[in-house]
Amino acid sequence: MTLTDSAPLASERVATQRTVLMCRPEHFTVSYRINPWMHPEQPTDTALAVRQWDELYRIYRELGFEVHLIDPVDDLPDMVYAANGGFTLDGIAYGARFQYPERAAEGPAYMEWFGANGFEVREPVSTNEGEGDFLLVGDTIFAGTGFRSDTASHDELRRIYDREVVTLRLVDPSFYHLDTAFAVLDSNGGPGSVAFLPKAFDAASRDILDERFPDAIHVTDEDAAVLGLNSFSDGRNVVIAARAEDFGRQLRERGFVPHPVDLSELLLGGGGVKCCTLELRR
* Closest to 133 measured CA to CA, from 160, 103, 100, 169: 169
Active site residue 177: yes
Instruction: Assess whether 23 carries a catalytic annotation.
Output: no
User: Cβ distance 217 to 185 under 8 Å?
Assistant: yes
Task: Sheet containing 182-184: give its strands across.
Answer: 182-184, 194-196, 217-218
Alpha-carbon distance 24 to 46, whole Å? 11
Catalytic-labelled residue, pool 154, 177, 259, 276: 177
Query: Rounded to an integer, what distance in angstroms lies between the CA atom of residue 208 and that of residue 166?
Result: 9
Q: Which of 23, 259, 275, 276 is catalytic?
A: 275
The Cα angle at residue 102 between residues 101 and 106, in degrees rounded to 5: 90
In 3D space, the residue among 127, 102, 54, 60 whose CA is nearest the CA of residue 280 turns out to be 60
Rounded to whole angstroms, the Cα distance separating 214 from 35 reads: 31
Q: Which residues are catalytic?
A: 177, 275
